Structure 1
Amino acid sequence: DQRKNKLNQKNHGIDFEDAQTVFFDEEALLIQDPDHSEDEDRFLMLGISSSLRLMVVCHCYREEGELIRIISARKAIRRERNQYTARLK
């Protein structure tokens, strides 16, 4: 969704093309996000993108897990950075 991508770039400075590379981070942390939708299961992926930015990508799975729909992406906050790096020690 180009409109949503442009809005995300404006609000968070992150392009969905960069955000999708977080899913290739073998150390990424997948977190269920039950608070933001009653209609679908949403998840947060905390990981490093190909541009070496630690970010949180809110997403859901479509077509029985075959397709990932990115809802938003943003830079990780301090607590999330600590959560990510603590697992690597």
Structure 2
Amino acid sequence: MMTEFEWDEDKNRKNRKKHGIGFEEAKGVFRDPKRITFKDQRRNYGEERWKTIGTIFGVIISVIYTIRETATRLISARKANAKERDEYSNQ
């Protein structure tokens, strides 16, 4: 079954400006067979959030999202930091 994706378009524009990655490209991380996923437990967001680390266009990125009834809602996407790159590379 194909996963549907959604996002706030204003948040997408801000994310692209800040991190150079739009959500349309970032959803490609879910096609990476080596991707790794963690529950985002940094704080209580009022919803369950997840972080997936994987590659798009040869670049390791980190994507934060939540799973809704009808779609996966992307929240942020950026190039992975050193710790995340290590986690991905050493799996």
TM-score by length of 1: 0.88
- Equivalent pairs, count: 84
Map of 1:62 onto structure 2: 68
Alignment correspondent of 1:53: 59
| CA distance in 2 between partners of 1:15 and 1:38 (Å) | 22
C-alpha RMSD of matched pairs (Å): 1.1
Q: Which runs of 5+ in 1 are unaligned?
A: none
Q: Which has the higher contact order (CA 8 A, sep 6+)?
A: 2
Q: 2:11 matched to which residue of 1?
A: 4
Point out 4+ residue stretches in structure 1 off by more than 3 angstroms.
none
Task: Indicate the residue corresponding to 2:26 in structure 1.
Answer: 19
Gaps of 5+ in 2: 1-7
Using the size of structure 2 for normalisation, the TM-score is: 0.86
